[in-house]
Structure 1
Amino acid sequence: MTLLTHLYTQRINVDLRHLRCFLAVAEEGGFTAAGRRLHLAQPTLTRTIKSLEESLGVQLFERSTRRTELTEKGEKLRENLGPLLGQLDRTLKDLREGEKLRVGFSWGLPEGLSRFAARFAEETGTGVEFVRCEIPQDGLGAGQVHVALLRGTPPPRNLRSRFLYEEPRIAGVPAGWELAARTELDWAELADLPLVVNTASGTTFPDMWPAGRRPAVGAECRNYDEWLEQVAAGLGVGTAPLSTARRYTHPSVHLVPLTGAPTVSAHLVYPSHGAHPQAARFVNEAWRASDELQT
């Protein structure tokens, strides 16, 4: 019976962290070099090895002021452990191969999100795939996507979320209207004009103006492409986040800067229960990198 077989037939409190720390000290020949390799402070590493020895009931290292040497049992553990951990690492890497985190969006991904996703994939081994959804939160509920980008209204309470940023709005005006020649429009002026409303994923609705002075609905749609076409057809004006309007244009729609308009908030959300194992990490790291997402 090998040392590892004997140890694992007992009730012992040992995890991979203990074993990786042991192997690093054994291979590096000391705690200082192993600490550098593992990016751990020497006292932390010393406590981990001591905890491993106490759990096993076996002394693994002979320590002196000048050197650290493996005991006979420590040497046996090192000989068995190296190949096992190598095989485990290869197995785990193979399991992650081809794994995808699907991120749902309705329109206008933040300009820097693709760069962030590529870096995330390189660091974690989990690729990121962007999936266009008419209603991203419905994509979450159906399991179509693991994370969703939501804009405008606060995220539903049954989802975990991270606020990313706020951005200004711009107005979309039919090219044939006199207003299209303006250098800017005020939010209050839109109350007197028919409004094209994206009912599925839009961020602009009549109730955002004061009661008694709200725009009439000129047309309804369910995605950004339809929104552009209905504005182009002269059915009304609309507003969209500035970044989206920059990326999606139409020859018959003029984009006019807005003053006095409420900003549009952007959030990343994921399920509170049963989320993809990498969803929280992706969302939290995107939140920390939010300043670069719009550039």
Structure 2
Amino acid sequence: MRHQRERRRTSRHAGAPRPGEPRWRGRAAARTGGTPARSPMALLRTPPADGSALTCRALVRERRVAAVPEGHRLAERSAVSLAEVGREVVALCATAATTGPELWPVGRRPRTVEVPGVDEWLTAIATGEAVGVTAEGTAHDHPHPGVRYLPIADAASVTVRLAWPTGASHPATDAVLRLAQRHLAPGRADAGS
């Protein structure tokens, strides 16, 4: 029965994002203006590259959180400051970076280490090599038994945007946008990019 429903849904909405499809598909391509592998839409937590030919709508603002290893001196805190996190080595994820050294004032920027992906970012944190700073959605999308996520009280939030190719939107684009706005309404960001 489920397979029949999926076939009907697929034929009605060919090319639309599919429920249960990994959320990371298309993100890197969308940030650079390339063609996403499966979905004509992507959720972005970083602004798209200039000239990317993407239309974006801001959906929500997420708090920034620190990712620290279990047992770290900050791990039992209910919140931390950007200055406290900046005293540590901070891991930066090359494929999904929502944070860079520019988040800290000049002269108080942390030492950083770049890692190639989210799995390596989590490993560097869980093993105590570094801490991380990310949008709070990461805590939901990438839980890890060795990593504790803590709100950063004084850090700027991250805008989550829905993005799709300009002028080449899928027929379901407006419906997906309305659904996302309705679902995220309590923390909705201002419209626009």
So what's the TM-score if we normalise by structure 1?
0.52
Give the count of matched residue pairs: 177
8 Å contact 1:162–1:287 — kept in the other structure? no
Q: Percent identity?
A: 29
Name the CA distance, whole Å, in 2 between partners of 1:293 and 1:272.
26
Work out which of the residue numbers 132, 135, 145 in structure 2 matches 1:238.
Answer: 132
Change (3 A) 1:191 1:143: closer
8 Å contact 2:15–2:40 — kept in the other structure? no
How far off is 1:208 after superposition? 1.3
Deviations 1:4-48 (A, max 9, x none): xxxxxxxxxxxxxxxxxxxxxxxxxxxxxxxxxxxxxxxxxxxxx
Which consecutive unaligned segments of at least 5 residues does structure 2 have? Answer: 1-7, 189-193
1:142 aligns to what?
A: 35
Name the CA distance, whole Å, in 2 between partners of 1:240 and 1:254.
12
Work out which of the residue numbers 141, 156, 160 in structure 2 matches 1:262.
Answer: 156
Higher relative contact order by CA 8 Å / sep ≥ 6: 1 or 2? 2
8 Å contact 1:202–1:223 — kept in the other structure? no
Deviations 1:240-262 (A, max 9, x none): 22232144322222222321011
1:6 aligns to what?
A: none
1:221 aligns to what?
A: 115
Change (3 A) 1:94 1:183: closer
**Aligned residue runs from structure 1 range 27-176, under 5 A:** 96-97=11-12, 99-102=14-17, 130-131=21-22, 132-133=24-25, 135-137=28-30, 141-144=34-37, 145-153=39-47, 156=50, 158-176=53-71
How far off is 1:292 after superposition? 6.2
Deviations 1:166-198 (A, max 9, x none): 011221112243222333211122222110101
Aligned Cα root-mean-square deviation (Å): 3.0
Name the larger-Rg structure: 1
Which consecutive unaligned segments of at least 5 residues does structure 1 have? Answer: 1-92, 103-126
Structure 1 residue runs of 4 or more that deviate by more than 3 Å after TM superposition: 93-98, 127-131, 152-157
